[in-house]
Amino acid sequence: MTISAGHLDEGCGRRVEVPLKLLNSQPSKRKFHIKINPTFEQIDDQVEWVVSIDASREVGEVETSPADPKVFEADIDVESGKSRTFNLVVGTPKGGFRGDTLKLAISVGSEDGLNSTTSNLSITLVPVIVTLKTTLGSEMQFSEDLIKKNQKEGSSGDNEVISIMSPIALKGYVFVEAMHPDRVAFAARGIRSFKGMIEGVVKFEEIAHYLTPRPAVSGLELGSIIELIGGPFKGEKAKITNIDAGKEEVTVQLIESMVPIPVTVKAEAIRVLDRK
């Protein structure tokens, strides 16, 4: 038997699938017995995990917890000279706490006693990042309302929203780090601008670029038509004639000016109307 992962960090209320592979090297069909023995490191002894395999419809699942540590067992047939790949499926508890860990001791033995092997898998509950949809333009207000609602819930709310990120460049979406995404979605339903939660979680690496400010001159091109939104020439249209990336400044020429006088302004003081 081979197993693809020894330890995983996962969020609450998730379905974790870990591939398992059985190989029958004998000249006849054989039955393999799988036994999965759980041990726990968690705060609430009543919180249950669900363990199963998707090898066949006949194989059931067990709900296991420190208060009732049920062992999962199943028999799998493998044809002669063939291998069979399936998934060990673990449903993490919705009501778990940060750091709660399930450890699975997995043993497999052939019915004829010729082959046996063991492996281990552990899963630790950690906060996850989910994406909430909001009304366009209400991202910051929604974030503030969600924080206030989380704080109002007191000690129970302290374990929900950990952090919120609302990137200026991403309209209509807010990223929320939490232990219990389902509870966050439930709390958000009471906020008028909430439009739903996108299924699945987001890896930090996928949104890390939002934490790095883009240079103000990023995307600007020589010859582009802009509008000045600050300074003494506010409201005037102009054409970019020079870009100084180091100082984050642009030199523009006013379109309606009788004399072509160059004007140097900060890049954040302009708005692009028409690119070159």
Question: If you average pLDDT over residues 219-228, what whole number do you get?
Answer: 90
**What predicted TM-score, i.e. pTM, was given to this entire model?**
0.73
Other beta carbons within 10 Å of 188: 24
- Torsion angle (degrees, nearest 10) of CA 150, 152, 156, 160: 0
DSSP, res 211:
G
The helix/strand/coil state of 77 is strand
How far is Cα 208 from Cα 11, in angstroms, rounded to an integer?
A: 19
Which segment of 1-10, 124-133, 199-208 scores lowest on mean pLDDT? 1-10
Which segment of 46-60, 106-120, 143-157, 159-173 scores lowest on mean pLDDT? 143-157
* Residue 244 near residue 265 (C-beta atoms within 8 A): no
pLDDT confidence of residue 155: 42
CA distances from 238 to 11, 215, 221 (A): 52, 21, 13
Per-residue pLDDT band at 259 (split at 50, 70, 90): confident
pLDDT confidence of residue 56: 67
Query: Domains (ranges, CATH) in the chain?
Result: 2-125 (2.60.40.10), 128-210 (3.30.70.940), 225-274 (2.30.30.30)
pLDDT over 90 percentage in the chain: 63
pLDDT confidence of residue 178: 93
How far is Cα 108 from Cα 116, in angstroms, rounded to an integer?
A: 5
Pick from 39, 162, 154, 179: nearest CA to 99: 179
pLDDT confidence of residue 260: 80
The helix/strand/coil state of 55 is coil
Pick from 29, 184, 47, 190: nearest CA to 110: 29
pLDDT confidence of residue 157: 43
Tokens of residue 174, six digits:
């807010």
Judge whether residue 134 has pLDDT over 90.
Answer: yes
Question: If you average pLDDT over residues 217-228, what whole number do you get?
Answer: 88
Per-residue pLDDT band at 276 (split at 50, 70, 90): low
Pick from 197, 194, 193, 152: nearest CA to 178: 197
Q: For the chain, what is the mean pLDDT? A: 89
Beta strand pairing call for 116-125 and 7-10: parallel
Longest CA–CA span in the chain (Å) reads: 97
